[in-house]
Amino acid sequence: MTGVWAILYREAHIYMRRWTKHAAAYAMSPFLFLLVFGWGVGRHVEMEGMTYLQFMLPGLATMSAMTQSYGMATEINIARFYWRIFEEFQMAPVSAWEIVLGEVLYGMVRGTLAAMVVYLMGGFFGTWVLPGPLAITFYLLHAFTFASAAVVAAMIVKSHADQGHINTFFIVPMSFLCGTFFPLERLPVWAEYAARALPLTHSNLAIRAALFGGAIPWGSVLALAAFGAVFFTLGIYLVRRAGV
Amino acid sequence: MLNSSNELAVETRGLVKEFGKLRAVDTLELSVGRDEIYGFLGPNGAGKTTTIRILTGTSRPTSGRALVGGVDIVKDPVGAKRHIGVVSQHINIDADLTVAENLHLHGLLHGMDKPSRLKRIRELLEFADLADRERSLARTLSGGMKRKLTIIRALMHEPRILFLDEPTTGLDAASRRRMWELVRTIHEGGVCVFLTTHYIEEAEALCSRVGIIHKGSIIAEGTPEELIKKSGEYAVDVVDDGRTETSCFPSREAAAEFLESSGHAGRLRPTNLEDLFLQETGRRVHL
């Protein structure tokens, strides 16, 4: 486990040094969405028996958690291609799984914190939704999945530009299509099926159910866990063969 | 002459690394003793860094065997990496961490407990004259200080073998000489140093033995003195039509006679490793 602690040590120190910038980054995009869609456009709209802001808030928090935990990919890339710090991990007597677990744990903390900031902001907009232990557990699973995906993406790409392409073709469409801003059922059938093949959809379904007392869609929880397990395992494989 | 595996810090047998059709390391045979400063000399693209990457476990060989500290780097990379410290060609310190935090991170990666880390950090900062910069962010250090930090970081876990990949590239002459002193002191502390360089004078000044690599293979190996003598004692550089032609001779007299009879302007000097490299390959080390 020495590698896990070492990576958490590094990330924690850098995070604490930049926490004000991180906090601002967590807040900026959700604030704009809350202001424009929640307050401006959706003020008098009802969705699934609740105000639009209530409906949107968990989706926004889940999206923010995804962005922040997946956002690690860019930082790993910088460490790999620009600072070349990743070499220091590769040359140390630690296993690939320790490197991946360290990065993923950091991503989980970062993603879950980002989600909590959105709920806090929702309160300032007059909509208090308090995530309970089950919702927080689902957030951790959600962040685990996207932090693992971040490691995979960071190890696959050959440059920062490649990273931008992954964001454009996978992360941005997921943000809009996976039940963040409106229920999946409003999509055309083909698009709904496509959305159900993406992990963010299952995060949204599970987290909304945990927050609003619906039947927990365990199939979605399992799907999310399966995505996470696949990404995590693939991440270990890719770190092991990096530079080969 | 090295004849026992127990005495060897680094050993390769038939080591090959291919990138597609390019053979970067070609059946490399190396034997480096635990008490040596071994210089791995060659021009850019000769295969030095690829060899270092294999020996430090960041690249896998296509075939062949590499033992580091007696441990097979492919079969037991974690075990082999415990014995080694690595200073990369590039300054790869964490700019967002302080000097001390960079050292703590390395210690943690090598499983050192906190009291051991603190003690070692104090020693190393004193050793490298960086004690007053302990709490400075690494990004604020000068180039020479950053290079020193990468070296002491590699020594943090007290490795038996230190790989230095072109450690003085980009440093001015004075800093380079200070770095040599640092390397000598590290070696006197019982650490085997495996140094890659394309600076002839660095290999001559520092190394107890030198291996000259060309196109992925060792083309000559020995002490700097042995290798220099191999090419002759004296060299004459004759300038003809803007081109410098170098010829080597067994004695000063023979070299002087050649210079006189050539009818061109020229310079008589003692031979160096560059002359040997030129003789063996037809090109210069430092391009």
Summarize pLDDT for A4-13 with one digit per residue, the tens: 999 999 999 9
Token pair belonging to A128: 């208090």
Per-residue pLDDT at B239: 80
The four Cα atoms B252, B256, B258, B261 give a dihedral, to 10 degrees, of: -160
Query: Dihedral through CA A76, CA B135, CA B155, CA B158, nearest 10?
Result: -110
Q: Which helix (H) or strand (E) holds B222?
A: strand B217-222
* pLDDT at A244 (0 to 100): 52
Asked if B79 and A95 come within 8 Å (Cβ–Cβ), the reply is no
Average pLDDT of A226-234? 97
A40 pLDDT higher than 90: no
Confidence band for A85, pLDDT divided at 50, 70 and 90: confident
According to the model, what pLDDT value does residue B4 have?
Answer: 47
DSSP state of A93: S
Q: What is the pLDDT of residue A137?
A: 96
Which of B59, B92, B158 to mutate to probe the A interface, most A CBs <10 Å? B92
> For chain B, which residues score pLDDT lower than 70?
1-6, 282-287
Exposed/middle/buried for B47, CB within 10 Å: 0-12, 13-18, 19+?
buried
First to last CA, chain A: 24
For A210, phi and psi rounded to 5 degrees?
A: -65, -35
CA A89 vs CA A14, A220, B204, B216, B275: distances in Å: 16, 35, 33, 27, 40
What SS3 state is found at B85?
A: strand
Nearest Cα of chain A lies from the Cα of B239 at a distance, in angstroms, of: 44
Confidence of residue A220 (pLDDT cuts 50, 70, 90): very high
Tell me the mean pLDDT in the region A21-29: 83
Single out the residue of B271, B273, B269, B283 nearest to residue B203, CA to CA.
Answer: B273
Q: Do B105 and A84 touch (CB under 8 A)?
A: no
Answer for the pair A151, A7: CB distance below 8 angstroms, yes or no: no
In chain A, residues with a C-beta closer than 8 Å to the C-beta of B82 are: 93
Name the nearest CA neighbour of B74 among B52, B57, B50.
Answer: B57
- Shortest distance between the Cα of B75 and any Cα of chain A, in A, equals 13
Exposure of A95 in the CB half-sphere (CA atoms within 13 A): 7
Per the listing, tokens 């600072």 go with A83
Closest CB from A10, A90, A94 relative to B94 = A10
Residues in A 90-109 with any Cβ partner in B closer than 8 A: 90-95
Segment A112-125 shows an average pLDDT of 92
Q: How far apart are CA A106 and CA A16, in angstroms?
A: 12
Question: Range of A111's domain?
Answer: 2-241
B285 touches B198 (CB < 8 A): yes
B70 vs A57: CA distance, rounded Å: 59
Q: Which burial class, exposed, middle or buried, applies to B175 when counting CB atoms under 10 A from its CB (0-12, 13-18, 19+)?
A: middle
* Strand pairing category for B217-222 and B63-68: unpaired
* Average pLDDT score over chain A: 90
Reference B227, options B273, B270, B281; nearest CA is B273
Burial of B126 (0-12, 13-18, 19+ CB in 10 A): exposed
- Specify which residues B32 forms β-bridges with: B10
A190: confidence class by pLDDT, cuts 50, 70, 90: very high
**pLDDT for residue B287:** 43
Closest CA to A138 of A212, A187, A204, A235: A204
CA angle A93, A94, A97 (to 5 degrees): 160
What pLDDT was estimated at residue A28?
A: 87
Percent of chain A predicted with pLDDT > 90: 55
- Chain A residues with CB under 8 Å of B60 CB are 244
Give the mean model confidence (pLDDT) for residues A240-244: 72
Report residue A80: phi and psi, to 5°. -85, -50
CA atoms within 13 A on the CB side of B8: 19
The winner for highest mean pLDDT among A47-56, A138-147, B183-192 is A138-147
d(CA A103, CA A185): 35
Establish, for the pair of chains A and B, how many residue pairs have beta carbons separated by less than 8 Å. Answer: 71
Please determine, for residue A184, whether its predicted confidence score (pLDDT) is greater than 70.
yes
Q: How far apart are CA B251 and CA B260, in angstroms?
A: 15
DSSP B98: B
Q: Name the residue in chain A with its Cα closest to that of B60.
A: A244
Give the span between the Cα atoms of A114 and B152, in whole angstroms. Answer: 37
Higher pLDDT, A45 or B32: B32
Angle at B27 between CA B25 and CA B33, to 5 degrees: 90
Query: What pLDDT is recorded for position A196?
Result: 92
Please, are residues A114 and A17 in contact by the beta-carbon 8 Å criterion? no
Total domains, chain A: 1
Q: Do the beta carbons of residue B23 and residue B63 sit within 8 Å?
A: no
A218 to chain B, any CB pair closer than 8 A? The answer is: no
Closest CA to A28 of A57, A52, A64: A64
**Closest residue in chain B to residue A5, using alpha carbons only:** B108
Q: In the structure encoding, which two tokens stand for residue B70, read together?
A: 């007696």
- Whether A239 and A148 have beta carbons less than 8 Å apart is answered as no
Neighbour count for residue B275 (Cβ, 10 Å): 24
Q: What stretch of H or E contains B179?
A: helix B173-188
What is the widest separation between alpha-carbon atoms in chain A?
Answer: 59
Identify the CA nearest to A226 among candidates A203, A195, A210: A203
| DSSP β-ladder status, B243-249 and B234-240 | antiparallel
H or E segment to which residue B29 belongs: strand B22-33
What's phi and psi for A143, nearest 5 deg?
Answer: -70, -35
**3-class DSSP assignment, residue B99:** helix
